[in-house]
Amino acid sequence: MPARTAIDDATLRAYRETEYRVQGDTPFILKIDRHSAALAALHARLHVASSAFITAANPFSQPCDASRNDARQQALAAELAQVGLAAIAGIGQHPDNGWPGEPSFLVPGLSLDAASALGTKYGQNAIVWSGADAVPRLILLR
């Protein structure tokens, strides 16, 4: 039986189809429920067992203008830096539905609880979290 959620089916489908693009020195793409060798290598190199791909943009999938999204992302970046977490820039981009890419961060070492709390704080429907298996999972927050 599927999890109960306030998120509509079309939005859930879009989240599952989105490419979560990690930028940085060695760019790679995360896809929901597909093992990522590049993410596993990053976890090993950084000696972490988990990571989260998160954004502060477009809360509850309601489009915001670029300046508001930029301000929200800067606030998230500042919060991550304040607690000593490195963030790798990224973008969540659906391959063909026309929704603008959302600026995001891959945060190595972020626990599921901490990632969920940040996603909730920044009004997100979901986050992408990966454990030691380096399989990105869609974590619904509402």
- pLDDT means per 10 residues in the chain (142 residues)? 74 94 95 98 97 95 88 96 95 86 95 97 96 97 90
Which pLDDT does position 1 carry in this prediction?
39
Task: Say what the pTM is.
Answer: 0.92
**Sheet of strand 126-130, all strands in order from the earlier edge strand to the far edge:** 28-30, 19-22, 88-93, 102-108, 51-54, 126-130, 137-140
Query: What's residue 6's pLDDT?
Result: 81
